[in-house]
Amino acid sequence: MAFTASYRSNDDVLVFVGAHHVFTPQNSTLRAVSAGFAQASPAIVIVEGFPTSMGASPPPLVDEANRYGTPQADEFAKGEAMYAASLALRHGVPFVGGEPTREEQLQALVRKGYTATDVYFAYLVGGLSQSIRSGAITGPADPRLTDAFASSALWFARQLSLQPMTLADFSARYRAMFGVDVTRDAELTQRSEPGTSSPVALLNQADMFTRDQHLLATIEAQLALKKRVLVVYGAATGPPCPVLSRRSWGSQRSGRRFPKDPEAGIGSDAGVAQKSQGRGLARWHVRAMGAPASALDQLGGAAPNGAGPRWVRAW
């Protein structure tokens, strides 16, 4: 379920869009991205999926964004990142990637005890999951899985400076880890999801820490330069409250959910609340759009003083 979360302090405005990774022409994530633009009136947009080191509006990604919504769009161009980038281009606003380089990610994981092959395998599992979710293949039994795997294997091998893994080697490792053949695994798309206990998911969670730290540093840098920032990232990342709450967000924060079902509360307020807080956070606001408390509770971290209610919750 997609959401927007807004932070404001003096002249600084940050709107975080938590994306549900889908690849359809109309969905809750795209509505959330559009709402994020309206809320932030951004001077720059930070999106998921490519390194910050590529610079502002890198030409290859401009080309991808211009393919959004066309028959030429590939998996990446169909996603919310390129939708946000296409809106940025339409508004004359630069966009940047929020990712570290693959080398930075790899070295961080190696320091935590993983091998390059561990990382490669986890990325391949995630790549096949994305191929299914994007509609490039219908499922693990789709004969096109062979081509999808070969494309991902070559792509990630180049990024990690490894020899491409064969489908036979991947399948053997997959079977040893999950106890099922990859082409018969009904849970393939769930194997790398955050919150699960599979070895791939645990590696991805460790990788997420590196990515989050880089994203937070990128947000801080762009706030200092541009003042009005829109971030579009996977909802699993969540609003980066633990670090951003160290800033003195002196006016307000607000949140909104965008349910997948267009009739499940969009356009109606579930509640609004405000409360005094310490450490420069004068008040906090919550606006929940037809979402259950359990869904909203995961959006925020603790208040800046380490106590009290989370900054986003249902009322």
* pLDDT, tens only, 14-35: 999 887 766 666 777 888 898 9
Same domain, 93 and 19: yes
What is the distance of C-alpha 247 from the center of its chain?
A: 22
Shared domain check, 243 and 191: no
- Single out the residue in 182, 207, 232 at which a domain terminates: 207
> Given this model, what pLDDT does residue 168 score?
97
What is the average pLDDT across 131-137?
A: 87
Within this chain, do residues 253 and 108 fall inside the same structural domain, yes or no? Answer: no
- Asked if residue 304 belongs to a domain, the reply is no
Q: Which two three-digit tokens encode residue 150? A: 């070969």
Three-state DSSP class for residue 141: coil
How far are the Cα atoms of 85, 119, 174, 194, 273 from residue 201, in angstroms, in the given order? 28, 11, 13, 6, 35
Is 305 a member of any domain?
no
What is the rounded average pLDDT of the residues 38-44?
93
Instruction: Tell me: do 94 and 237 sit in the same domain.
Output: yes
- Do 221 and 172 have their domain in common? no
| Number of domains observed in the structure of the chain | 2
Predicted confidence band of residue 3 (pLDDT cuts 50, 70, 90): confident
Taking residues 49-62, what's their average pLDDT?
A: 93
pLDDT of residue 309 exceeding 90, the answer is no
| Residue 151: predicted pLDDT | 93
* Same structural domain, 15 and 86: yes
Backbone angles phi, psi at 12, to 5 degrees: -85, 130
Residue 140 lies in a domain: yes
Same-domain status, 78 and 94: yes
Residue 297, pLDDT score: 31
- Rg over CA atoms, the chain: 20
- 237 CA to centre of own chain: 6
Domain that holds residue 128: 102-207
pLDDT higher than threshold 70 for residue 292: no
> Which of 71-85, 106-120, 243-257 has the lowest average pLDDT?
243-257
Residue 80 in domain: yes
Tokens (6 digits) for 286: 């919550």
Establish if 308 belongs to a structural domain. no
Q: How much of the chain is in helix, strand and coil states, percent to nearest 5?
A: 45, 15, 40
pLDDT at position 224 over 60? yes
pLDDT of residue 260: 53
- Mean pLDDT taken over the chain: 76
Among 234-243, 272-281, 297-306, the least confident range: 272-281
